[in-house]
């Protein structure tokens, strides 16, 4: 074996061994046992594979070695290239119609407590009467009849949502009577630093359009049917990450506990930011769980923080769908954040389909985006999804748990995210490896883990 060939083989052996070793260690830390064993097997195979070329010096082995190294070189160059041959055009929102919050399943479920409003809604939407009646018959959240109910911990998330209800008055209020002159750039930096200081992982700012708002309120009886207040200029989008290890326990009670905790954190941050803006004399209103006038997902997507996923929810560019969102609207004109669309997340979502394969209620489509409300977007069968939630007693989260983007933000997963951001070939390889290491389908647990808060 020539000196050059020896060095190239040794370089491949060391590089691949380091990567597979990193994969194995990361999998062990993440408690992914299947991935640990497969990593060990790949590590041993890699050693034996390259050892063959170190100890076999016959002409056939030499030719195969050179061909293999040449192929690896070409493959490496292709992997570095960035190309997505058929990226979808930006969604045309010119004809978008506003969404009525009264049609949201949370709002419709809440109407079971208000018969007069329920009847008024079904006069407006008679096609939803039969479905709503079936869903209202299911046990409500906190009921011992729900599959993943836990006698000791269920009251924790119920208390968290009760607390969120009590914080609604903090979301809005009169601004300071004296409007102070501010530098929008400096104000933006302070807002972003504040979000990070209080536990947010990302912030986006966008100029508001009418379709960013609900047309009418529907979540609470006291304001049911009122038109939303759309007299704001800018929206501040706040992203709060959820713990991956909690969502990997989907659809057990771990998920609703994690959701509730992160909704509390998102409400805290958004209420503080809104109060901060009001102290300078500007109108500002926080939008958080069960207290929205805005649609959070399009605001997060259009402010450049990520993409709309096949499962109909927002996918952050780092944390994937494993996040919660809050929004602050204000009449102060703030400079929008960069919103150039990265085609890689959308392209990956189109080939992956793990969320659709694993959805226990069949709510997620395997098909392409459909046009509704005047524009193209992913959407789910919300009636099927919510019905399953009420059966199991959590907000499921199985689609989030199986998503390949739902990984800890470690060195390994940073490398993989960069790898799949380059081209469609890399994405197909990464998806194959994700299926191999973690499985194509997630098994649904039969019980809650022994420790719901520390699985």
pLDDT at residue 277 in the model: 98
Q: Is the pLDDT of residue 2 over 80?
A: no
Alpha carbon 350 to chain centroid, angstroms? 16
What is the predicted pLDDT for the residue at 281? 98
3 state DSSP class of 427: helix
> If phi over 0 gives left and psi between -120 and 50 gives alpha, with beta otherwise, what is residue 74?
alpha
Q: What is the pLDDT of residue 213?
A: 98
Of the candidates 107, 99, 105, the one whose C-alpha atom is nearest the C-alpha of residue 291 is 107
Residues 392, 249 contacting (CB under 8 angstroms): no
Q: What is the pLDDT of residues 126-165, one digit of tens each?
A: 999 999 999 999 999 999 999 999 999 999 999 999 999 9
Q: CA geometry: angle at 385 spanning 384 and 387, to 5°?
A: 65
Q: Is-cis flag, bond preceding 406, omega within 30? A: no
Q: Mean per-residue pLDDT for 101-122?
A: 98
- CA–chain centroid gap for 417, Å, is 15
**Contact of 225 with 218, CB cutoff 8 Å:** yes
Give the torsion through C-alpha atoms of 442, 443, 449, 454, to 10 deg.
Answer: -10
pTM for the model stands at: 0.95
pLDDT tens digits for range 375-387: 999 999 999 999 9
pLDDT of residue 5 exceeding 70: yes
Q: Measuring CA to CA, how many Å separate 187 from each of 80, 184, 332, 333, 334? A: 39, 5, 10, 10, 8
pLDDT, residue 1, reads 62
Residue for token pair 């018969």 = 115
How far is 319 from 437, CA to CA, in rounded Å?
19
Comparing 81-90, 281-290, 348-357, the range with the smallest average pLDDT is 81-90
The C-alpha torsion from 272 through 278 and 283 to 289, rounded to 10°, is 10
404-430 pLDDT tens trace: 999 999 999 999 999 999 999 999 999
For range 341-356, the mean pLDDT: 94
- Give the list of residues 6+ apart from residue 445 with CB closer than 8 angstroms, or none: 249, 252
52 pLDDT more than 90? no
Give the separation between CA 202 and CA 284, rounded to whole angstroms: 19
Instruction: Output DSSP code: residue 397.
Output: -
141, 212, 345, 433 alpha-carbon torsion, rounded to 10°: 0
- Contacts of residue 207, Cβ cutoff 8 Å, sequence gap at least 6: 233, 234, 235, 333, 336
DSSP 22-59: HHHHHHHHTT-HHHHHHHHHHHHHHHHHHHHHHH--SH
């Amino acid at each position: 074996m020539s000196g050059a060939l020896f060095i190239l083989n040794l370089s491949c052996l060391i590089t691949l061994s380091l990567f597979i070793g990193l994969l194995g260690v990361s999998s062990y830390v993440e408690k992914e046992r299947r991935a640990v064993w497969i990593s060990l097997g790949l590590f041993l195979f890699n050693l034996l594979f390259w050892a063959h070329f170190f100890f076999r010096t016959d002409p056939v082995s030499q030719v195969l070695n050179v061909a293999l190294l040449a192929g690896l070189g070409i493959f490496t160059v292709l992997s570095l290239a960035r190309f997505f041959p058929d990226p979808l055009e930006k969604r045309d929102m010119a004809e978008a119609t506003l969404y009525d919050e009264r049609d949201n399943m949370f709002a419709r479920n809440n109407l079971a407590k208000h018969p007069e409003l329920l009847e008024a809604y079904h006069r407006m939407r008679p096609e939803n009467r039969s479905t709503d009646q079936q869903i209202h018959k299911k046990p409500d959240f906190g009921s011992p009849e729900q599959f993943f109910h836990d006698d000791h911990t269920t009251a924790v998330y119920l208390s968290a949502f009760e607390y969120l209800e009590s914080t609604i008055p903090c979301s809005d209020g009169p601004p300071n009577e004296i409007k102070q002159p501010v530098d929008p750039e400096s104000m933006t930096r302070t807002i972003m630093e504040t979000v990070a200081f209080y536990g947010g992982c990302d912030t986006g700012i966008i100029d508001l359009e009418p379709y960013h708002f609900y047309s009418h309120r529907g979540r609470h009886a006291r304001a049911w049917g009122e038109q939303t207040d759309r007299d704001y200029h800018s929206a501040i989008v706040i992203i709060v990450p959820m713990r991956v290890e909690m969502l990997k326990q989907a659809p057990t009670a771990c998920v609703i506990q994690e959701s509730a905790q992160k909704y509390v954190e998102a409400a805290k941050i958004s209420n503080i930011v809104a109060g901060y803006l009001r102290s300078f004399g500007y109108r500002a209103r926080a939008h958080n769980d069960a207290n929205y006038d805005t649609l959070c997902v399009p605001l997060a997507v259009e402010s450049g923080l990520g993409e709309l996923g096949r499962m109909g929810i927002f996918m952050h560019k780092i944390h994937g769908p494993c996040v919660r969102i809050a929004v602050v609207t204000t009449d102060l004109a703030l400079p929008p954040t960069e919103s150039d669309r990265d085609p890689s997340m959308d392209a990956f979502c189109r080939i992956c389909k793990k969320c659709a394969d694993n959805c226990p209620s069949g709510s997620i489509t395997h098909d392409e985006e459909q046009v509704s409300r005047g524009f193209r977007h992913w959407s789910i069968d919300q009636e099927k999804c919510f019905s399953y939630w009420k059966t199991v007693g959590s907000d499921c989260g199985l689609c989030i748990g199986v998503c390949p983007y739902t990984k800890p933000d470690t060195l390994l997963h940073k490398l993989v995210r960069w790898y799949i951001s380059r081209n469609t070939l890399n994405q197909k390889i990464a998806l194959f490896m994700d299926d191999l290491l973690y499985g194509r389908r997630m098994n649904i647990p039969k019980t809650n883990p022994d420790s719901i808060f520390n699985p």
